[in-house]
Amino acid sequence: MQDDKRATAIFLLIVLSIIWGTSFILIKQGLKVFPPDQVGALRVAAAVIFMLPIVIGHLKELNKKDYGKLFISGMLAVFIPAFLFATAQTHLESSLAGILNTLSPIWTVVIGAMFFGLRFRGLAVVGIAISFAGCVVLAMARAGGELGAFNVYALLVVLACACYGLNLNFIKFKIQYLQPLTIISVSLLLIAPLAYVYLFGFTDFTTRLAVPGAWKAVGFILILALMSTAVANLLFYKLLQISSPLFASSVTYVMPIVSVMWGLLDDERLVAGHFLGMLLILGGVFLANRKKN
């Protein structure tokens, strides 16, 4: 990258790390009143509202074949992960979800090599193995400090990261010719009807609004939708446009620090196993992202 692009990319990485690192504690606050499926659906449904003023002008840029690609991107980048993270955090602390999310660059490497012809370096294999070992340690670490039974809900975060990794490569190699604002706004528009139909047609969301604390929880989810889904994805696609999929996914280096900070402020308890798992994951991501063997 050129120096000016590199400076812009680093700045975007820091901003995105703060925004996305905060998203896990916002999900946690929403889950205090609403079940995970409603948190996920409301997040998607609200995000599209923030993009409506600008989405219409970008429809004219598209060909018919683009709509299917943008629907796929919206499902991978927003819809599916929104439900997976909310469900995972019913049995997983927000700080741990943030740490596990650092697996996104690993999935970027794996999926890029398997389906998009990216070169698979020797150190990448080592990094992948170390990162997934860290995932196992993290998922087995108990609050008491010892290793215990595997928390299967951690696998939902791993699956969400796989969606992110697939989407990164999909955008870079299939729809890079589209503007970032077009990608995020139109993809949200295409997936939003699913969220609205589900939220208002198949859940008791409107009834739960009468529960004490419901509107406060809605407020947290709206902030989540605006910042972590709408604004952050726009910035992320801009970052992807001026860098590489691996560099863009490296936002996860700083993000766990932010999520852990919020978790500790919310009285979440982390033990040695959690930090060991985080170090293994980050170490593996570093090795997988190295340019030279």
CA distance linking residue 154 with residue 221, whole number of Å: 22
Pair 99, 138: CB distance under 8 Å: yes
CA distance linking residue 56 with residue 185, whole number of Å: 9
pLDDT at 144: 54
pLDDT at 293: 41
Specify which residues 147 forms β-bridges with: 141
In 10 A of CB 144, how many CB atoms?
10
Give me the domain span that covers residue 66: 3-289
Instruction: Please name the residues in contact with 143: beta carbons below 8 A apart, sequence gap of 6 or more.
Output: 269, 271
Handedness of CA 231, 61, 171, 83 (dihedral sign): positive
pLDDT at 192: 96
pLDDT at 195: 97
> In 3-state terms, what secondary structure has residue 60?
coil
Pair 278, 37: CB distance under 8 Å: no
Q: Which residues of the chain have pLDDT under 50?
A: 292-293
In 10 A of CB 196, how many CB atoms?
14
Structure-token pair, residue 82: 């929104």
Total number of domains constituting the chain: 1
